[in-house]
Amino acid sequence: MKPIVLHPDAQAEMLAAASYYQECQTGLGDRFLDEVLQSGSRISHHPEAWQIISGRIRRCLLYRFPFGLIFRIEVERIYVLAVMHLRREPNYWKGRIR
């Protein structure tokens, strides 16, 4: 099982979304973060199970929120490039690929 590492911008996206949901309803931001963690665990256990969307980049959809984790499998880790809202700018994260 490989560790999950978030790109700094993905970390910021995750926290901004959690803050937004928390403002909408108390506890909803925490549920969003729990869902991201659960998705990370699913990815870590079965990294190749998720849809390839571009080259080596894969996407894992969250169950209860309109977000996906955009990631690639690397030798030592799973690198999350984006915590992406599914209805906004679908390719913005491509600039994060090195």
- The pTM of the full predicted model, rounded to 2 decimals, is 0.89
Mean pLDDT over all residues of the chain? 92
pLDDT (0 to 100) of residue 71: 97
Could you give the domains of the chain?
A: 4-88 (3.30.2310.20)
Burial of 10 (0-12, 13-18, 19+ CB in 10 A): buried
On the question of pLDDT at 36 being above 90, the answer is: yes
- What would the pLDDT profile of 45-83 be if each residue is shown by its tens digit? 999 999 999 899 999 999 999 999 999 999 999 999 999
pLDDT (0 to 100) of residue 92: 62
